[in-house]
């Protein structure tokens, strides 16, 4: 069948099913083709039980050629869209990651695939706005260290540039870290740096401003942080940023599976923290939104979107700055880590909290964990990443916010 054009009906994460035609290239192995015409770089395999081809997306979604039934193809996973209207129960505890929005208990890894997609949809509907599908055309041209990217969709075009710093030694292709606004962590000399001016894409000082909105219109539902997410190369790329850019790096990796390592630094709430926990520890007299317990999601579910075998998340935080919410950050991450444990990838998630007065500074005490995560996920080394530490003096009591148990998913 290699070299024969086939028709696939695929449902990329968050988008409607559409028809895609492709053909294996001669240099590729018969049996596997990589599809680059969709947001997820699905892989086509020719070894389906009934001899037909299947499309396996990074989200785990599989739709079979000629639409044979789910019963005859047990590997096919159909993830439904969210209902148009949903009634959310008020819950002061962190929502159970293993309970779907319609009350289905998650007991297997295949069920988690759809729960993960559901969480993404919840965030898009209630917090971040909708991430659009892949544009119709993207081109790039390199001039020195500047890469100009032109994006075209719906008859409109916009462009932006990133700056690339490659290692002084070694051989390309290099692993790379996308640094939001340049980043603040010391990027290793054997890893390329892609400096990304994310505020040019979606400004955070005014609604509907930036190159994303030039392309999709100022009234598009997408908020700034999710507009920053759709830029990742194919593999071995990380993302980092500090403060609000740390939130951006967290969201980018949560919604873009091709980012295999995220290193959000001092992002506080909206990145490391949970709103319910921050809400509970507010001092008397502080104004806050009083409907937080009605949220169908919280920050631990954002962390859970990273829980896959080959992706890493290291949260770099600071216990000396109260407005970052050190207590919330640690307990929220601890709740999210339960999903990693359920999927047997506990070492893929780390947190490092260190007290220092310089917001977005990087103390030497945090270097070992940064080195470990970069070595494992970007450089392919067999490095231990069992990092879970804080110097915070707060009482560690996760039971205050968690009333559910994590199953073993396989």
For residues 379 and 360, give the distance between their C-alpha atoms in angstroms, rounded to a whole number: 25
pLDDT at 36: 31
Q: pLDDT tens across 229-275, in order?
A: 876 666 679 999 999 999 999 999 999 998 999 999 999 999 999 99
For residues 333 and 269, give the distance between their C-alpha atoms in angstroms, rounded to a whole number: 11
Angle between helices 244-255 and 109-123 (to 10 degrees): 140
Residue 243 designated active-site? yes
Whole-prediction pTM value?
0.81
Q: Which of 15, 70, 356, 359 is catalytic?
A: 359
For residues 140 and 127, give the distance between their C-alpha atoms in angstroms, rounded to a whole number: 31
The low-confidence residues of the chain, meaning pLDDT below 50, are: 1-76, 284, 287-288
For residues 131 and 20, give the distance between their C-alpha atoms in angstroms, rounded to a whole number: 20
pLDDT at 230: 72
CB proximity list for 196: less than 8 A, separation 6 or greater: 162, 178, 179, 180, 181, 228, 231
Tokens read off for 318 = 């600071």
pLDDT at 146: 97
pLDDT at 232: 65
Q: Which of 54, 243, 262, 328 is catalytic?
A: 243
CB proximity list for 168: less than 8 A, separation 6 or greater: 189
Tokens read off for 28 = 């590729």
CATH architecture, domain defined by 109-131+166-196+229-400? 3-Layer(aba) Sandwich (3.40)
pLDDT at 77: 59
Domains of the chain, by residue range, sit at: 6-64, 109-131+166-196+229-400
């Amino acid at each position: 069948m290699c070299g024969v054009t086939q028709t696939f009906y695929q449902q990329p994460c968050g988008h409607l099913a559409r028809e895609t035609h492709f053909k294996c290239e001669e240099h590729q192995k018969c049996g596997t083709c990589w599809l680059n015409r969709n947001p997820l770089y699905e892989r086509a395999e020719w070894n389906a039980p009934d001899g037909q081809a299947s499309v396996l997306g990074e989200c785990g979604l599989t739709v079979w050629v000629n639409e044979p039934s789910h019963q005859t193809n047990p590997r096919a996973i159909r993830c439904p869209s969210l209902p148009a209207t949903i009634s959310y129960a008020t819950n002061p505890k962190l929502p159970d990651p293993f309970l779907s929005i319609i009350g289905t208990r998650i007991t297997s890894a295949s069920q988690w695939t759809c729960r993960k997609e559901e969480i993404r949809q919840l965030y898009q509907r209630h917090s971040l706005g909708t991430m659009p599908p892949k544009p119709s055309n993207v081109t790039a041209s390199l001039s020195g260290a500047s890469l100009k990217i032109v994006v075209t969709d719906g008859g409109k075009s916009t462009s932006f540039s990133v700056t690339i710093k490659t290692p002084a030694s070694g051989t390309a292709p290099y692993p790379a870290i996308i640094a939001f606004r340049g980043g603040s962590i010391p990027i290793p000399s054997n890893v390329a740096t892609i400096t990304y001016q994310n505020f040019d894409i979606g400004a955070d000082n005014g609604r509907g401003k930036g190159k994303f909105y030039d392309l999709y219109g100022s009234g598009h539902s997408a908020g700034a942080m999710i507009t920053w997410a759709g830029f990742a190369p194919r593999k071995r790329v990380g993302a980092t940023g500090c403060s609000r850019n740390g939130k951006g790096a967290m969201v980018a990796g949560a919604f873009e599976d091709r980012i295999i390592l995220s290193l959000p630094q001092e992002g506080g709430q909206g990145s490391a923290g949970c709103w319910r926990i921050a809400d509970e520890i507010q001092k008397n007299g502080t104004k806050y939104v009083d409907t937080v317990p009605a949220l169908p999601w919280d920050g631990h579910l954002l962390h859970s979107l990273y829980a896959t075998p080959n992706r890493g998340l290291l949260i770099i935080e600071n216990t000396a700055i109260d407005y970052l919410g050190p207590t919330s950050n640690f307990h929220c991450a601890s709740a999210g880590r339960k999903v990693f444990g359920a999927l047997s990838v506990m070492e893929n998630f780390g947190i490092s909290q260190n007290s220092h007065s310089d917001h977005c500074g990087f103390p030497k005490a945090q270097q070992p964990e940064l080195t470990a995560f970069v070595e494992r996920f970007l450089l392919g080394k067999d490095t231990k990443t069992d990092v879970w530490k804080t110097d915070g003096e707060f009482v560690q009591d996760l039971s205050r916010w968690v009333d559910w148990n994590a199953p073993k998913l396989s």
